[in-house]
Amino acid sequence: MAHLYLIAQVAGRTVAIDSDQVESVVDIGEVTAIPRAAEHVRGLAALRSRVVTVVDTQSALGLETSGQNAHRAVITQVDGHHYALLVDALDDVAPFELLPLNGGFALDSAWRFAGRGIVERDGEPILAIDLASLVPGHAVAAE
């Protein structure tokens, strides 16, 4: 069954994000750092009157952070808390059909936990990821 997916660039790869998980896409302004928090927690940012926890998606995937300050973020809500997951770029929103992740792909590191399936765009396979699994504190629960 076709479902709306957001196609984004994270850590130089293309990923698909279930649109149900996405509340909005925003540009993050100034971020307040959270000393002593996990490395991939970038900090807090204000989104109108709401405070969101900014997650460095790349680092949450276990990859080296480029160090560049990505500003575009996908807002998602997990357990009543709002998170902004930084993405490099957004390509597209389109309906896709989710295909199971089989055939023996060996996804490395955190990709394996985040991966939920595959969508196909013009013959190109794109990994569909679960945002909640990238949110620190929930990643374990998502297992």
Partner 1 sequence: MDDLLQEFIAETRETLEALSGEIVAWESSPDDKGRLDAIFRFVHTVKGSCGFLDLPRLGRLSHAAEDVLAQVRAGDRVPDRGLVNAVLAIVDRIGELAEAIDAGESLDDSGEDLLIAALAEGSDEIAQPTGNGAQRAPARSVRLSVELLDRMMSGMSDMVLARNELARRLRHGEVDPTVEAALERLSLTVGEMRDTVTRTRMQKIDALFTALPRMVRDTAAGLGKSVTLHMEGSDVELDREMIEVMRDPLVHIVRNSIDHGIEAPGDRRQGGKRENGRLVVSARQSGNQIIIEIADDGRGIDIEKLITKLAAIGPRSERELRALSDKAKLDLVFEPGLSAKDTVSEISGRGVGMDVVRSAIEQIGGRVELDNAPGKGLRIAIHVPLTLSIISAIVVGIGNQRFAVPRQAIEEIVTDRGEAIRIDMIGGSSVATVRDRRIPLVDLGELLGIERVQSETEMFAIVSVGEGSYALRVDTVLDNEELVIKPASPAVMSTGLYAGQTLPDSGLPMLLLDCAGMASAARLDFTRNGAHAYGEEDMVAEAPGMPALLFLDLDGVRRAVPLGIVDRVEQVDSDLVRMSAGQLRIAMDGRIMPLIVQGEFDPHRKLSMLRLKDGETEVAYAIQEALDIVVLPEEMAPAKAPGLVAGVVLLDGEQVELLDAYWLFGEYSGDEGEQVAPLCLLSGDDGWMMSFVKPLLESAGYRVTTELAPGEAASVTLSADERAPAGAVRLRRRKAGSGKSDDSIYRYDREGLLSALEAKVGAR
107 forms part of the interface with partner 1 (CB under 8 A): no
Draw the binding track, 41-70, toward partner 1 (x: CB under 8 A; -: no contact). x-xxxx-xxxx-x-x---------------
31: which DSSP letter?
A: -
**# residues contacting partner 1 (CB under 8 A):** 27
34 forms part of the interface with partner 1 (CB under 8 A): yes
143 forms part of the interface with partner 1 (CB under 8 A): no
Residue 114, burial from CB neighbour count under 10 angstroms (0-12, 13-18, 19+): buried
Q: How many CB atoms are located within 10 Å of the residue 38 CB?
A: 12
Greatest C-alpha distance within the chain: 46
24 forms part of the interface with partner 1 (CB under 8 A): no
CA torsion sign for 128, 113, 52, 73 is negative
Site residues for partner 1 per CB under 8 A: 30, 32-38, 41, 43-46, 48-51, 53, 55, 79, 81-83, 135-138
